[in-house]
Each structure stands twice: as structure tokens, then as C-alpha cells.
Amino acid sequence: MAKKKNTVRVSTSSESKRIPFAQLPPRDKKTMKSLVGLADGVVQTAERSRPPHLDIPSRSLSNVRFNQSRRIIEMGSGTNRRELFNLSQAKAYMQTLLVSSGCKQLIEQGKTTSLRGLYYMLKHTIEGTKEETFDEQSESDTIIEDSEVALDVLREELHLYAKSAGSIAGPITLVDSGDEIDCSRMGSGGYTIPSICEPEIVQFKQNEAKFILHVEKDTVWRRFNEDKFWISHKCILTHGGGQPPRGVRRLLHRLHHELKLPVYCLLDNDPWGYYIYSVIKQGSINLAYESKRMAIPEAKYLGLRSKDYERCGLSTSVQIKLNESDTKRAKQIAKYPWFEKKPAWQKEIQAMLSNGFKLEVESLISKDISYVTEEYVPARLKDRDFLD
Amino acid sequence: MARMVKSAQFMQFDTGAQRSAAGGSPRLAVQHRRGNDGLRWNQRCPKTRLREWLALSETESTTVGKKRVTAEALATKQRDISVSEFFAKNRHLLGFDNPRKALLTTVKEAVDNSLDACEEAGIVPEIWVHIQLVGDNRFKVGVQDNGPGIVKKQIPLIFGKLLYGSKFHRLRMSRGQQGIGISAAGMYGKLSTGKPVKVVSKTAAKKPAHYYEIEIDTRKNVPEIHNGKGEGEDIPPGDKGLAYMQKNGIEWVAHYPALDGERSREIASGTRVTIELEARYQRGRGSVDEYLFQTAIANPHVTIHYLDPEGHQTDYLRASEQLPREPKEIKPHPYGVELGRLVTMLRDTKESTLAGFLTSSFSRVSGQVARRICETAKLSTRASTKRIGREEADRLYKAIQETKISAPSTDCIVPIGEELVNKGLHQVVPGEFYASATRPPAVYRGNPFQIEVGLAYGGAAALEKVTPEILSELLAQSDARTLKQFLVNTFDGLGNDAAEKIIKEAGFAARQSPSKLKKSEILELHGAMTNVNLADTQSMQVLRYANRVPLQFQPAACAITQAVARMNWRPYGLSQSRGGLPSGPVTLMVHMASVWVPFTSESKEAIASYPEIEKELRLALQAVGRKLGMYLRLRSKVRQEGERRSIFLRYLGEVAQAVSEINGFDRRKLYDRLLQVAKRKTVEADTQLDDRGRRRMDGEEDFGDNVLIVEQSPEDLLASSESNGQAGGSRQLELALDAPASSPAPRRKK
């Protein structure tokens, strides 16, 4: 087989630009120590002629626990052992170490890259084979999340970020990487929420808002922005483009805790909408280790409700029939511990199932273009008619 | 005419029954309807039947009808039946039912005769089979051997007289039995083309050869010689003779094929018979090709040079120089003799006393045993054999069954032997694993027999050897209506599933007609046939033999096929659907050697089920099954471990690189360390392979006796993993796996 020369490795191309360990910021020093610790572990086990392995905290439903008092999802102590000398795990083990070495290089050079960037950085043909280290980005994404929990560091501490998604508008001024951002003057598109919203990057300078309205998607968000809802109601308007990415959740968390702003969510009346709310409120199963930095247990679900079809007098044509996976997912969600003991939510899910259809927020537009901003949301806010 | 022949038979029986009814011994009369060995007429082999019928018509037809007028009238017509007329109307009884089978039967009779002749003379047989298309549906079949030759005056009798031979009246293991086959083939040739049989025979290098053109005078059943004014021609030895033969168009292979760097030896003696006949040549199941292929497996001491009508030369080279032991002739065992036979024997014996008759006519009957039989039968040991009546015979028969007589001696049977079965299979069937089992001799109804089974695993299916040219010929010859039918009928070991898979792969409609394919479509089909992995769908190929002669027809009726299908092969690592043959790349050869092989029907193509035979078949199949199971388990384990290691090795380099980038540890050093761990973790692969190597060297096999393993190259073993990771690691891996990779060199050349 013709031996393909490997893609150029980052280390060889930019060795000169390495920042000496002593000069690294303290946060990076800590991350670096965990990375080196991981590598030393491999050497030590190999020296003792033992098969190397990694213990990676398990990121599955079986290893999360709903903390009743803190009302967030927390990660349990369960771990999955990932062994080099196990057929099904060998490749994942190799990938984990590749990700670690990639992040180490990023830190050393004081640079950050996107998840996709790291994927390309590490992707190459394994010497002497036709096999790629990573076939798809989804592979490296999972491994990165594994590395976060295994090293007990956050993604941003690995100098990685996800692609930005979600916008913010409202009477608030932020400082992002030293630049002052007035979110009331961001035009029709709003300010794109960066994927890393840690205090070192984003600071809050001035705020006049009284609460936060988080909507599911861009179209609804634009409706509110165009109608200047955030002016009339003195609020911050955000959306997360569906399932909100970590940046959006982190920003909401900080706005809620640091500025004491209540969070109301306007989401579709379907299992996926319910789960978005659940993720904002309790944290996600997959990123349970991040819950303490992201979950907002006080967040409220404003709509849409199953009863809105009748309450708002919507036409039959806006109904979307529930399919099999909807029903299955709804039943699954109803059984999550954090929904299980809430009669109101059980009633809500049951109502949707007995309706046999789901409703999108956009369906309110069938009443009137600005029905949602002028009547629906104000009425809910006035009646304090929320699901908790 | 056919009707007449039939009615003549019936008349004899009817009158016989009437006569004996009148004579007060109906029981005996019934025996007349049976053959000498007590089998019913229609169960018996056609040749025996013919022979007995001929004998009866000679001796008894004159007595028939003495008492009845109507019978007398009929008797006048009965005399007119000649052998040729009988044969012409009953050619199917002798295997000439259709042109296709006629070709096979002709080759088969000639080859069987040649093999028997060579073996009896102690010559390692080498056979030439030449089939030539000479006109529309006309073929010239020439079969030559390097046997002892035939003395001049015997040639016309052997080839020009039905029922002339040495094998009929003895109880001995041999291929042919009646001495009817080759002359019948000659007669068929004469009937269908009018050409005489041509025979060349030579008894020694320095002696002249004899050349005859013979045909049977079918009325008198005597040979009629055409050439040399009825005396045949003598051909002088040496080059002069060769020139003479060339000049007169006499076919003869004068030299063995030249070995590398040697002058080819002259064939010192031998016989060549050439018959021209109307026939049809077709490959596939039941073909001449298949017969020769199977013959080569069961006769590893034989070399066959085969030139088919399309000019393809196939050579089956011998795997052994060792001739099988000469089988001994035995007397019948008392247990195997039925009442009717007993009566006949009593009538024919030369002994005057009963005890003398018993001891001289049967095996395993000593004076003491004879006395005990007589006591049980309440007969005197000195009773005259001529005066034993029906009732006494009956008592005698029962007494024999009740008396304990030791089993017949079994040295009259010559099995192929486990080692030679393996060699024969390996020579002809490509594969990676061969195992065989020869059961100790056993006895059914007083007839000794022996079962042996050989198994080849891993061979490519028949259809993988087919070239596009042969495929298009096969397609043109086929009369199948659909492509699927064509595939299933033409190729052995190809089931419905596999055929569907191939058709799907080639992208044809399900009911595509095989005769209407275009050239490009044939290529597509050929591609699909060679590409589709049929290891799973391929069904086991079962080759059946009786006394080293392949049985090519009626597989379903045969005890062998039934025993194979009834056995549960799953524990031995093969998949099998309920009640069917197991699937997998397996060729199984099952041989029954016996002085008397019980066939289910006159066509001599299927072995009858006797409990003793079934039991021996089962035990033999289980024996090879166990060996196969062990091999398959070991193989899959070694393969798994090898794969495992190659996967680990593949990633070790990356891991070492990543770690050294993080903490600066020496990459090479870490890699070596990890490699050591990897080797320890997959130590199984090494041990097993070492074990196997050692076992093979010591010659003590864990699989049981007589197993042949063809080493697979490491690439084959690790077929699924494309490469073995880092260079250093893979080298070591290969070393571990690298037993001398003798590829299973197919010694068949086309």
C-alpha cells in the first residue's frame, strides 16, 4: 500500500510559537496539568505492562440524578471504562488521546478553535491503513464531550467553542472581549450570542430589563424584535435556534443569577419544546456536569399550551398531527424524574397526547401577525399563567 | 416387440406358478419369480436381470407350455427374441435412456473396465479419455489404458459378445459386475451409427499390437470381425507400427506425457476402445466431466487425461503411486442367503452331504457349525443334498438364522483409506481443510461392507471456476426455462438462495430466460457469479461412491444423502436448515465398499437403507464432523485474535504519538511498551498458531487422525482487516502467522 504522508500536524508547523508553561494563564495551567496527567497515566500503565484505560464519567440517563433540593440534573458517579485493548473501544481510546493532544497544542499556542476546526486539525489517515482517525465531526464532538468530563474541565478551558447560535436584543449593555455592545442598538438581527460567555469574555455593564423572554426560534424572535416588544415590556429577548447551545444557556444563567432577572420561555407545544424548557430549567442529560453553571431552576414555561388551541380559537389547519416518535418521546419525557412529580406537567403532556396534535408558536400568526406579541404573551404575563 | 418380450416373461412366470401349484410346492414356485439372491425382479440390477432372463429363456422356454395348449402356441413366438431386439427396446435398463446418458454410460463402462484391468494386473492406471464431435449429435469416444492388454483371441469375445467376462460369478468387490457394459456400449454405437467398435490392444512393448473392428452379431450374440478378413490386423511393435497406425487412421496414444526434462516413456501395454455413437454432450450434473472428476477423487492412484469435445484438456494427476490391495473373493455368508438362493445352491452343489454342502459353500461355517445347524434343523449331517425338499430347505433356512455364526471375514473389502481419501480430495477439490474417516468393516445381512467419508472444506464453488466462454456454452445447451433454474441445475452446491443472489447481483429479472442473453449480459452474469460471496448460501456437495464408482443420479433416494441430511451439522460449525443438506463451502465424499452393494433400484444409482449401513454412515459422518468442528472453531478463534491484534496495532502508533505530544515522552519507547502489552493481551493468537505449527511438525494432530490442512497465507486469515497497522508491529504479527504459505495449488489445468 502506498503510504500516504500524514496531514501536517499542528505541532510541527508552529513549534516556535509555543508559550512556555510558566507564562500560561492560571486557568490554562490547570487544564494543562490535567492533560499531562492523562498522558502520564498512559506511560505509567505501559511501563508496568498493564493495558491502559480511561475512566470516563458516563453521560447517559442511567448516570444522571435529579437533585431535588437544587432542582437540577447532576451527574452520578458512574463511569465507563474505555480500554485500548478492547475491540469496540480501541478507536475511541485513540481518539480521546488525539483530542487531548490537539487541545494541548491549542492551549500552548494561546489559540481557540471551533469543534469543526479541531475535527480538521486531528483528522488524518492512520499510517499504513486507509482508515481515518475521524470519519465525521460527530465522532470528534462526542469525544470532546468525553474529554471534558474525563479531565473535569470545561470546553472553553480546552480552547474550544461551538459555532455561535442564538441572538439577544434588549436594554442591556455587554462587554465582549473588551468591546462594548449595546443590545438595544443591534438592528433586526440582534447580537449573536458568543459560544463562550464566561465572565472573562463577557461582562454586563448596564441593564434596564426586568425579565428575559426566551423564544425557541429565529422567526418568532424576529416578530418580537420587529414589534419592539422588549421596549414596551422592558425585557431581554433571546432565542437559541431550537435546542439552545451552551453559550446561550450560560448567558441566560448568568443574566438570571447575576442580574436577578426571571426567565420565561415561549416554546412550541410539542415534546421537543418541552425538552428545550427542561434543558434550560434543569440542565441536559448529556451535559449533566454543566448543569450547575447553566441550569435555571426558576425558569417558567409560558407557552404554547395544549389548551391554547381552544383558548385562542385557532383553526384546524394549524394542527400538526403527532407522529409515532412524538408520542414516544412525550411518554419518555413524562417519565423523567423532574417531570414525573409535577401534576401540572403530567396534565399538560396528557392533554397534548389526547389532542393528538402539536402546535408551533408560529401558528398564532394565523390569528394575526402580531397576535403573539400584542395579546398572547402580554396576557400570560399579566395572569402569571405559567407552567413551572 | 416390447410387448411381446414382456408377455413372454409373464407367461413363463404364470405357467411356472401353475405348474408348481399343480406339483404341490407353491412356495418353491414363488422363488422362481425371484432372482438367485432372492431380490424381486424389478429391484434387481438390469444386467443381472437380462442375464437371468436370457438364461431362463434358453433352459426353460422349451419346458414351458408342455402341459397347456395355449402356452405351446405362445412358446413358438418366444424363441425369436434376440439379444439385440431386447436391447433395442430396453436400452434404458443398461443406461442408454437418452443421448446424454448414453455418452456417460459408454465412458463409464470403458473406464471402469480399464481400472479393473489395471488393478488386477498390478499396474498403476493411467487413462486417456478422448471425446470428439464427428457430426450432428455424433461423438467418437476413445478410452485407452495402460493395462495388461488382452490376448488376441479374447479381444473379439470381450468386446463383441454380451455377457462375457470374469466378474459375474464371484462375490468380490469390483467396479463392474456382469461383463455386459462395454459390449452393450458397442452395440448401442452400432445401432445408432452403424459403426463397429474399434479395439487396439498390446500386451508388451516388444510384441505386436492387435487391431480389431468388431460388431456383435446380435442374433447369435457372437462377435463379427470386419477387418483383416475376419482375423483382425497385427501391428508390429516400435516405430514401424506407429507409422502403420498413422497411415490407417488407427488411434493410439503411444507415449506417456513427457515429464519436465525427460524423454517421454513409451506405453508398453494397454487397450484402447473406440466407439462412435449418437449422443449429446452437456456439462453439469450427471455429465462425463463430473464422472471423471469424481472418479479421480475416489481413485487417487489413477491419472486421467481427458480431452472433451470442445478441445479442453483436463488432467487429473494421481496423488499416490500405491495400488489398492487386491480384494479377496469370498463365499457367501449364511446370514445373507435367502431361502430361494439356498434352494438353488442345494440343487447346484457338487457336495453330496448336507454338512459338506454347508462347509464348502459358505464362509464361516466349520464342521461344528454345520453340525449345529443340522441339529437345529433336525436333519442329518449326512443327508443327501439332492434329497432336501422344500420343507427341509425351509427348516434349514430357519436353523441358519437361529444358529450363531461369526461375522464374515472383512479382508475381502478394500477401502480407499483415510490418507488416500484426503490426498484424492486435495488433488481434485481445492480447499483449506481435509479430513477423512474410514469405519471398521461391518456386516449387513451377511454382506461385509465398509463406509468411509472424506471432507474438503473451503473450496471455491464450481461456478467460480467457470469461464465466460464455458458459461455461454452452458447457457446455449441448457433447456431450463428460467435463469434461476439454469443455475440450480447446472452447478452443484448451488441452492435457490444463491441463485437468486446471483441474479439480483447481475440485475436480471427473476424469470429471465437463459437462452436469450446477449453477450454483454452473459459477461454480467459471469461477473456476478464470481463476485457474489456464496460461502453461506452454498450447500454441501455430496459425492457418493459405491466400490469407487461415482453415483451420479437419484441423490434423494440414496441412504448416503439421507444420512447426511438427517445428521445435525450445527454443532460442527455448519449452518443447516431443517431436514436439508448443510450449507457452506464443503465437499463431502462418501464411499461404500462392499462385496455386494445394495442398490435401491435397477439403475444402480442409489444405495438402499439398511439399519447397519445407516449406523455406519452416521458414525463416519460424525467422525469427520468432529474434526471439521474443531478446525472451524480454532480457525475462527485464531482469526478473531489476529483481527483483534491488527486493530490494536493500528491504533498504537496514534496513541503513542498523541501521548508524546502531550508530555514529551519518547514515542518509540512508548510504542514498544504498548506493543508488548498488546502481544500479551492477544497471546491466544500466538499460542494457537504455535501449537498448530508444533503439532504439525510432530505429526500428532489434535483434530484426530488423517487431517490435512492447507496453510492459508496471513492475508487470507486477516482478510477482513486491510492492513496490520504500524510497520514494526505488523512485521512481528506476520512472523507469528507466517507458517510456510503453500497455497493450495490447483493441479488441474484447463
Q: Which pLDDT score is estimated for B719? A: 37
Phi first, then psi: give them for residue B201, nearest 5 degrees: -140, 145
Which one of A52, A104, A129 has the shortest CB-CB distance to B723?
A129
B202 and B172 Cβ atoms separated by less than 8 Å: no
pLDDT at B614: 94
Burial bucket for residue B516 (CB in 10 Å: 0-12, 13-18, 19+): exposed
Question: Which A positions 72-91 lie with beta carbon below 8 A of chain B?
Answer: 84-85, 87, 90-91
A131 close to B (CB below 8 A):
yes
The confidence score (pLDDT) of residue B607 equals 92
Q: How far apart are CA A76 and CA A149, in angstroms?
A: 12
* A376 among known catalytic residues: no
Candidates A42, A93, A106, A130: best to mutate against B (most CBs of B within 10 A) is A42
A312: DSSP letter: T
Q: Is B681 on the interface with A (CB under 8 A)?
A: yes
**Measured in Å, how far apart are chain B's first and last C-alpha atoms?**
47
Lowest mean pLDDT among A255-264, B140-149, B569-578: B569-578
pLDDT category at B339 given cuts 50, 70, 90 is confident
By C-alpha distance, the chain A residue nearest B654 is A94
Q: Taking residues A286-313, report their average pLDDT.
A: 88
Q: Can you tell me the distance from the alpha carbon of B664 to that of B660, in angstroms, rounded to the nearest whole number?
A: 4
CB A339 within 8 A of CB A278: yes
Mean pLDDT of chain B: 76
Determine whether the interchain pair A85/B681 forms a contact, defined as Cβ–Cβ distance below 8 Å.
yes
Out of B647, B665, B670, the one facing A87 most closely (by C-beta) is B647
Using CA atoms, how far residue B702 sits from A344, B582, B689, B694, B699, in Å, is 71, 24, 13, 11, 9
Can you state the angle between helices A246-259 and A271-282, rounded to 10 degrees?
50
Provide the shortest C-alpha distance from residue A103 to chain B (in Å).
9
Query: In the structure, what pLDDT confidence band is assigned to residue B495 with cuts at 50, 70 and 90?
Result: low
Long-range pairs for B687-694: beta carbons < 8 A, 24 or more residues apart: B688/B634, B688/B637, B688/B638, B688/B641, B689/B638, B689/B736, B689/B737, B689/B739, B692/B634, B692/B638, B692/B739, B693/B739
CA-based radius of gyration for chain A? 23
Q: Which range in A351-365, B678-692, B699-713, B726-740 is most confidently predicted, on average pLDDT?
A: A351-365
Q: What is the DSSP string of A174-190?
A: EEETTEEEEGGG-TTT-
Overall average pLDDT of the A237-252 stretch: 91
Which carries the bigger pLDDT value, residue B89 or residue B349?
A: B349
Question: What digits encode the pLDDT tens for the residues B401-414?
Answer: 888 888 888 778 88
Encode pLDDT of B151-168 as tens digits. Answer: 888 888 888 776 666 555
Q: Are A339 and A303 in contact (CB under 8 A)?
A: no
- Write down the pLDDT at residue B745: 36
Residue A161 phi, psi dihedral angles, 5° rounding: -140, 155
Angstrom distance (rounded) from CA B693 to CA B699: 10
For cell 431436514, the residue is B579
B526 vs B620, more confident: B620
Cell of B303: 491419472
B647 close contact with A: CB closer than 8 A: yes
Instruction: Express each pLDDT in B93-120 by its tens digit.
Output: 777 888 888 899 899 889 988 998 898 8
Q: Are B607 and B558 in contact (CB under 8 A)?
A: yes
In tens, the pLDDT along A212-241 reads 999 998 989 999 999 999 999 999 999 998
Residue-level pLDDT at B133: 92
Residue B352: the pLDDT is 87
pLDDT at B655 over 60: yes
Q: Is B229 left (phi over 0), alpha (psi -120 to 50) or beta?
A: left
Nearest-angstrom CA–CA distance, B674 and B325 = 60
Beta pairing partners, B589: B454, B543
Task: Check residue B714 and give its pLDDT.
Answer: 41
Q: Left (φ > 0), alpha (ψ -120 to 50) or beta: where does B159 sit? A: alpha
pLDDT grade for B50, boundaries at 50, 70 and 90: low
pLDDT tens profile A7-50: 434 444 444 467 788 788 888 888 899 899 989 998 998 888 88
Taking residues B598-616, report their average pLDDT: 85
Å between B730 CA and nearest CA of chain A: 10
User: B659 — contact with chain A (CB < 8 Å)?
Assistant: yes
Q: What pLDDT, on the 0 to 100 scale, is given for residue B562?
A: 92
Mean pLDDT score, A262-286: 91
Buried/exposed A169-201: b ≥16 CB within 10 Å, e otherwise: bbbbbbeeeeeebebbebeeebbebbbbbbeeb
Look up residue B77 and give its three cell numbers.
413366438
Overall pTM surpassing 0.90 (yes/no)? no
d(CA B312, CA B310): 6
Nearest to B189 by CA among B230, B218, B229: B218
Q: Which of A93, A119, A120, A274 is catalytic?
A: A120
Lowest mean pLDDT among B124-138, B156-170, B637-651: B156-170
Express as a percent the part of chain A with pLDDT over 70: 96
Contact B671, A43 (CB under 8 A): no
Give dist(CA A255, CA A296) in Å, integer: 10
For residue A102, give the C-alpha cell.
490537539
- On whether any CB of chain A is under 8 Å from the CB of B667, the answer is no
pLDDT of residue B689: 42
Query: Over 80: is that where the pLDDT of B240 sits?
Result: yes
Q: Has residue B723 got a pLDDT over 90?
A: no
ipTM score here?
0.77
Q: How far apart are CA B701 and CA B691, in angstroms?
A: 10
Tell whether B646 lies on the interface with A, counting CB pairs under 8 A.
no
CA–CA distances in Å: residue B123 to residues B152, B306, B326, B451: 20, 20, 12, 26
Cross-chain Cβ contact A126/B673 below 8 Å: no
User: Which residues, in sequence order, are CB contacts of B446 under 8 Å at separation 6+?
Assistant: B332, B333, B334, B335, B336, B337, B408
pLDDT tens figures, B12-35:
333 333 433 333 333 333 334 333
Residue B477, phi-psi category: left (phi > 0), alpha (psi -120 to 50), beta (remainder): alpha
The Cα–Cα gap between B99 and B136 comes to: 12
Does residue A336 register a pLDDT over 50? yes
Residue of B nearest to A84 (CA): B648
Which residues, at least 6 apart from B544, have a Cβ–Cβ distance to it below 8 Å? Answer: B550, B551, B555, B558, B560, B561, B589, B590, B607
To probe the interface with B, which of A12, A85, A86 has the most B CB atoms within 10 Å?
Answer: A85
| N- to C-terminal Cα separation, chain A | 62
A171-174 contacts, C-beta under 8 A, 24 or more apart: A171/A207, A171/A208, A171/A209, A171/A230, A171/A231, A171/A234, A171/A236, A172/A204, A172/A206, A172/A207, A172/A208, A172/A209, A172/A236, A172/A255, A173/A204, A173/A205, A173/A206, A173/A207, A174/A202, A174/A203, A174/A204, A174/A205
pLDDT for residue B718: 38
Judged against a pLDDT cut of 60, whether residue B698 lies above it is answered with no
Is residue B194 exposed (0-12), middle (13-18) or buried (19+ Cβ within 10 Å)? exposed
> Which candidate from A9, A47, A90 shows the least CB-CB separation from B648?
A90
Say how many CB pairs under 8 Å bridge A and B. 100
Distances (CA, A) of B627 to A231, B631, B712: 86, 6, 18
DSSP state letters, B72-141: HHHHHHHTT--HHHHHHH-GGGGT-SSHHHHHHHHHHHHHHHHHHHHHHHT---EEEEEEEEEETTEEEE
Give the count of beta carbons closer than 10 Å to the beta carbon of residue B328: 15
Instruction: Calculate the average pLDDT of chain A.
Output: 87
Closest CA to B620 of B449, B492, B459, B461: B449
Written as nine digits, the cell of B177 is 459386475
Could you report the per-residue pLDDT of A180-201, keeping only the tens digit for each? 999 999 888 899 998 888 888 8
Alpha-carbon span B504 to B522, nearest angstrom: 14
> Residues of A with CB below 8 A from B662's CB?
35-36, 38-39, 97, 100-101, 104
For B301, list phi and psi in degrees, rounded to 5: -90, 5
Cis check: omega of the bond before A359, within 30 degrees of 0: no
Strands (E), A19-68: 53-57, 64-67
Question: pLDDT band at residue B80, thresholds of 50, 70 and 90?
Answer: low
Lowest mean pLDDT among A143-147, A349-353, B703-707: B703-707
Average pLDDT over residues B371-375: 90
The residue written with cell numbers 399550551 in the block is A305
Beta bridge partners of A212: A236, A263
* Strands B707-709, B447-457: pairing kind: unpaired
| Closest residue by Cα to residue B182 from B267, B250, B116, B255 | B116
pLDDT of residue A130: 76
CA geometry: angle A148, A151, A156, nearest 5 deg: 45
Q: How many CB atoms lie within 10 A of CB B3?
A: 8
Which one of B649, B652, B657, B661 would you mutate to disrupt binding with A, by most A Cβ within 10 Å of its Cβ? B661
- Give the gap in angstroms from C-alpha A291 to the nearest C-alpha of chain B: 29
H-only helix segments in B578-666: 611-663
Q: What is the pLDDT of residue B544?
A: 94
DSSP conformational letter for B660: H
pLDDT (tens digit per residue) in A110-130: 888 988 999 999 998 887 777
